[in-house]
Amino acid sequence: MNALITFSNSPVGHFVEIPEEVATGTVVVVESPRGFELAKVVKINAEKPEEGFEDEEEKISFVKVATKHEIKTDKDNLKVREQIKEKTNQLIDQLGLEMKISGVDLTLDRSKASIYFTAENRVDFRDLVKNLAAIFKMRIELRQIGSRDETRIMGGFGLCGKECCCKQFLTDFEHVSVKMAKNQNLSLNPTKISGLCGRLLCCLGYENDHYVETNKLMPKVGSTVQTPLGEGKVLYNDLLKRLVQVRIGDDLNFEVKNFELSQIKQNKDKNEAKSKREA
């Protein structure tokens, strides 16, 4: 039976074959390229998408249902992971390495630790690995990651006040562009459209299709339209509510009103003539 599982430190799902008697919510032992680890079954009879939902190199297989002792061991490993992280940071300072530790993964049997780090330049960490292996008596692997993966591992709260999407539920990082912010009439101030990772907010892409389609329906800012109160000039479009803010009157005597899109009639001929004059 095909099942979707997740590890405790990531919302990314992985597909494995499990026995039929294993239920949703069960903690299981799986074997991954890192070694034996605990994972949670989040969905059974899950359909695997045709295109890469998971990393093709991340081959994972079911071993057995976890015992209470193994679940306790996994919790105890959290302390060991913190010890490894603390010692690694001490050695980094001693060796003068320019790198930042983001997180540590530890196999269930404590035979291997995977240490994730970020660095602007290439780092020679051979001495660091030797020292850590000698101290903790286990295999040490260092993996360099990007800023987005770092935020996913470390977590945090975004501008909205909620925990970062990549830590909660995002299974993949979709392409996000500045054009998406423009489509939503957002300020292009980097501090307002960037996440903790320093990259553009993932949520810019959530409703982008809606904004693109709505933009096609709305009159252009500066264009002339007909309203129930007469002819006016478009000042602003509220894309979410589909409201059009219009100035009615001349430069000396005017009023500003909001109208629903259905109440607006665009003066295409007049606007096209204006565009030709400006050109």
Q: Cα(94)–Cα(33) distance, rounded to whole angstroms?
A: 31
- Helices (H) then strands (E): counts for the chain: 8, 13
Residue-by-residue DSSP string for 122-181: ----HHHHHHHHHHH-SEEEEEE--HHHHHHHH--B-TTSSBPHHHHT--S-----HHHH
Where residue 56 falls among pLDDT bands split at 50, 70, 90? Answer: very low
Q: Cα(4)–Cα(1) distance, rounded to whole angstroms?
A: 10
In contact, 209 and 220? CB cutoff 8 Å: no
Residue identified by tokens 């051979």 is 126
Q: What is the pLDDT of residue 49?
A: 60
In this prediction, residues 244-270 reach a mean pLDDT of 87
Q: Is the pLDDT of residue 195 over 60?
A: yes
Q: Cα(35)–Cα(61) distance, rounded to whole angstroms?
A: 11
Contacting residues for 247 by C-beta, under 8 A, at least 6 apart: 232, 233, 235, 254, 255, 256
Q: What is the DSSP letter of 26?
A: -
In contact, 100 and 61? CB cutoff 8 Å: no
The answer to whether the predicted template modeling score (pTM) of the entire model surpasses 0.85 is no
User: pLDDT tens-digit profile of 128-172?
Assistant: 999 999 999 999 999 999 988 899 888 899 989 999 998 888 877
Q: What is the DSSP letter of 202?
A: G
Q: What is the pLDDT of residue 54?
A: 47
